Amino acid sequence: LAAAATSHKYLCLAVASVRSGRSVNDNMLRKIAPGSTVTVLEEAHCDGHHRGRIGEGEWLSIRTKLGNQLLEPLFKHASSEGG
């Protein structure tokens, strides 16, 4: 059976730090600039942060624990019903 996790495209609203793990304390690899698009492969919650995995060992915050939205779904108004 295929994994239930699906990839979703997100628009970066603010500078997002890409880290080597799920935790915001993991090593920072790079930053993603506002206006960039990323594909989130997996989502998780860690230490109050809503985190997204964009690659092998590459995690960033979708929303911080303070409620700051860093990424928003690119097609948030698109219907999720497929044909």
The pLDDT of residue 7 is: 87
The set of residues, in sequence order, having a beta carbon less than 8 Å from that of 71 and lying 6+ positions away, is 10, 11, 12, 13, 16, 38, 40, 52, 60, 61, 62, 63
- CA pair distance 49, 77, nearest whole angstrom: 24
Higher pLDDT, 3 or 39: 39
pTM given for the model: 0.82
pLDDT at 33: 97
pLDDT in tens, 19-71: 999 999 999 999 999 999 999 999 999 999 999 999 999 999 999 999 999 99
Q: Quick one: which of 57, 27, 32 has its CA closest to 42?
A: 57
